[in-house]
Structure 1
Amino acid sequence: MTDDIYFAPLLPWQHGLWSQLTMRVLAQKQSLPHALLAAGMQGMGKRAFVWRLVAWLLCRARDEHPLGACGHCESCQWLRSGTHPSLQALPLISLPISADNAHTQEVASGTAKDKKTTKAASNGSLKIKVDEIRALQPFIYQGGQGMRICVLDHAEQMTIAAANALLKTLEEPQAQVHLFLISDAPAQLLPTIKSRVQQLSLQTIDPAIAVDYVTKVLGSTVHREALGTDVIEQLIQLANGAPLAAVALAQAPWYSKRALWLTTWQALRSGKRSSVAASDYWQIHLGIAEFIRLSELMVIDIRRVGLGFEAQQKDINFSTTLNGYQPIDNELEAFAHSLQQTKIALQQNVQEKFAYDKLMQELACL
């Protein structure tokens, strides 16, 4: 269901923060801050937390349901239909009614089913413009209408003019109005914006809780004998500690092809396989975007091993592949840069076959 994000179970590492915030509201001694920021890497569940909190704050029966919105009152029904009069969101595609569920929205770049939404998020067309911020002001300043909530997803995508327009709202808090900013790249937010919002502490996740969560989620889709602690810990490490991203990584079609990537590289380097043949083969098995993600991960560990560090992917034998041969780091850096340029080119409708052929030619020369 598209509305699951409002009523999904709380993620295990978010219980403490949830209790802290909801108790403040229920005690009626201290209301929530006017503006809150949920920021950090993808895969922590920050969007799931924010939308769940939004549903609970608007719920007519929240006093009797401290663990989450009731799902049955008039407010919850409005949320289910995507027509809540007290909720506004930017950009429009960020509304949960257009998302698959809490988890796919959080790691949309890797797992979303809505490819148009994913492409929009990746090519920067989610820019939040000044006119859109100004259009929110009648909603914010209407007064006397009970609690009203604005959610700005991908807040780092605000233009400078939009951010400056938002500052006025942040500097002049309105009673019963709450703003939630969500950002995967908070470093890109203006300092003046960050200084006027209170950040939610969503980034601290106990490693044991993360391991337990990833193990349970993957247990229904992966053979349990393959779910050793080492496998789970590696997934979490590669996902920079973000449990949802670790699950998405394990389920990504390209993740199981890491050893094959090394074999292809060896065959290209030795001349046993032509770049054209390799390109034709991989085009059948992976989309170019997935191949780029795979290549980025492999290049990171090749560079680590070349610099004398241990590979993060301990289930792949990099030492044997690199035995007697070590590509120049500058060449690896150039290939990594080419991967980034290819992403940009694909957003400009460059044909996938052309991009694949070019990358295979470059990989053969490493």
Structure 2
Amino acid sequence: MSDMMENKGVVETTDSMYFAPLLPWQQELWSQLTQRVLTSQQSLPHALLAAGMQGMGKRAFVWRFVAWLLCHERDRHPTGACTKCESCQWLKSGTHPSLQVLPIACMPTGVDHADNTEKLSSKATDKKNAKAVSSSTLKIKVDDIRALQPFIYQGGQGMRICVLDHAEQMTVAAANALLKTLEEPQAQVHLFLMSDAPAQLLPTIKSRVQQLALQTIESTVAVDYVTQALGHTINREAVSTAAIEQLIQLANGAPLAAIAMAQAPWYDKRALWLTTWQALRSGKRSSVAASDYWQNQLDVKEFIQLSEMMLLDLRRVCLGLSALQNDVNLTAILDVYQPADSGLVAFASSLQEGKTALQQNVQEKFVYDKLMQELASL
């Protein structure tokens, strides 16, 4: 992933997970899949994979499609689940007998700002549950897959759907257990795998699923969507088409990620980050003073996000590539001073160490102090 944005509104309830408006760049794929189901000319693939970077809306698409497949009135509602039948009511209450989700933490439950990039939220990205949810919570273990077997093989119970989110988190044993299900498809049983890192999936898994074409978004469609969603302003400042295009480029072409970035508290502090770096490097400000100042500006996790973005562009320019950010004076600064590549690598390592420390409940002040010391030596 929240204060999740729809075209002009905010998602606030669980049922929005399943009944939200279709994203513009998903129209064609939606039509193709629903027509396959409605015309019965081609059966729906037994297993589908929604994969790719965050911010493309893959989870939004899958949950909407799951709701439509299960909807008792889908023949009369080709554009989305009816929201009123018994099946839709079960989804709203989170008690659908024909839907199983792994990990349990990823069952749609509400909204969360952290998952803006995927349009939908889950317990796995809910800030209220962030401390309780770790990477280990997202692990899909062999016992989890085995526990699905009775549901999958019960037979004669109508359509049944299994959703495996963060599928790359399957252990090897779990993936091997899943292979049996993929190799022996059951009538009316459909599996949906979702992954932000499909390269981490076992090749044997990827070879037995059909990937959904969700990754290609025309630039004009992305620009229009982001512009409409932001209402022509970023942090109350008028936004140009160039600024929108920069956001989309920084987000690797993912519109939802671009919107989340524009609304992130750190995005308008990129020039301030450069000023702090220069002040630290020249000795005009101490790392302690900088740490104290930034603790009043941003949550340390947000500062790490900001630093990762700035580090990305620093490395690009140092390698002779053009900067992605044209609204800050990064290139001018690097014309005067370029940090050593070893320093950039060390700072990147420090950012990762900071993330790990926060997961281990290290106090934010200590993480901030350490990062400012490292930034001063960059």
- Tell me, in whole angstroms, the C-alpha distance in 1 between the residues paired with 2:336 and 2:114: 47
Q: Which residue of 2 aligns with 1:145?
A: 157
Q: SS state of the match for residue 125, structure 1?
A: helix
What aligned pairs does 1:191-206 form with structure 2 within 5 A after superposition? 191-206=203-218
CA contact (8 A) 1:292 1:339 kept: yes
Q: Which residue of 2 aligns with 1:86?
A: 98
Unmatched segments (≥5 aa) in structure 1: none
What aligned pairs does 1:126-165 form with structure 2 within 5 A after superposition? 126-165=138-177
**Which of 106, 114, 118 is residue 106 of structure 1 equivalent to?**
118
CA contact (8 A) 1:45 1:102 kept: no
CA contact (8 A) 2:59 2:119 kept: no
Q: Which residue of 1 aligns with 2:321?
A: 309
Please state if 1:25 is matched with 2:37. Answer: yes
CA contact (8 A) 1:42 1:107 kept: no
Please state if 1:46 is matched with 2:58. Answer: yes
Please state if 1:359 is matched with 2:356. Answer: no
Q: Which residue of 2 aligns with 1:177?
A: 189
CA contact (8 A) 1:265 1:363 kept: yes
Please state if 1:95 is matched with 2:107. Answer: yes
Q: Which residue of 2 aligns with 1:260?
A: 272
Task: Give the superposition deviation at 1:17.
Answer: 0.2
Q: Percent identity?
A: 75
**Which of 138, 142, 166 is residue 178 of structure 2 equivalent to?**
166
Task: Give the superposition deviation at 1:69.
Answer: 0.3
CA contact (8 A) 1:88 1:149 kept: yes
Task: Give the superposition deviation at 1:105.
Answer: 7.0
With normalisation by structure 2, the TM-score equals 0.92
* Cα 1:352/1:89, change in 2 over 3 Å: same
Q: SS state of the match for residue 285, structure 1?
A: coil
- Tell me, in whole angstroms, the C-alpha distance in 2 between the residues paired with 1:101 and 1:269: 34
Task: Give the superposition deviation at 1:325.
Answer: 1.3
CA contact (8 A) 1:35 1:170 kept: yes
1:84-123 per-residue CA deviation (whole Å, 9 max, x = no partner) reads 10000001121112454996372789xx972154456664
- Tell me, in whole angstroms, the C-alpha distance in 2 between the residues paired with 1:127 and 1:338: 26
One-letter identity of the residue aligned with 2:361: N
CA contact (8 A) 1:149 1:178 kept: yes
Q: Which residue of 1 aligns with 2:220?
A: 208
CA contact (8 A) 2:105 2:137 kept: no
**Which of 271, 276, 280 is residue 283 of structure 2 equivalent to?**
271
1:221-271 per-residue CA deviation (whole Å, 9 max, x = no partner) reads 647862211000000000000000000000000111000000101111111
Question: Structure 1 segments of 4 or more deviating over 3 A?
Answer: 98-105, 116-124, 220-225
Q: Which residue of 2 aligns with 1:229?
A: 241
- Tell me, in whole angstroms, the C-alpha distance in 1 between the residues paired with 2:39 and 2:120: 36
* Cα 1:62/1:108, change in 2 over 3 Å: closer
CA contact (8 A) 2:141 2:170 kept: yes
Q: SS state of the match for residue 137, structure 2?
A: coil
With normalisation by structure 1, the TM-score equals 0.95
- Tell me, in whole angstroms, the C-alpha distance in 2 between the residues paired with 1:330 and 1:132: 43
- Tell me, in whole angstroms, the C-alpha distance in 1 between the residues paired with 2:377 and 2:218: 43
**Which of 23, 31, 35 is residue 11 of structure 1 equivalent to?**
23
- Tell me, in whole angstroms, the C-alpha distance in 1 between the residues paired with 2:356 and 2:113: 28
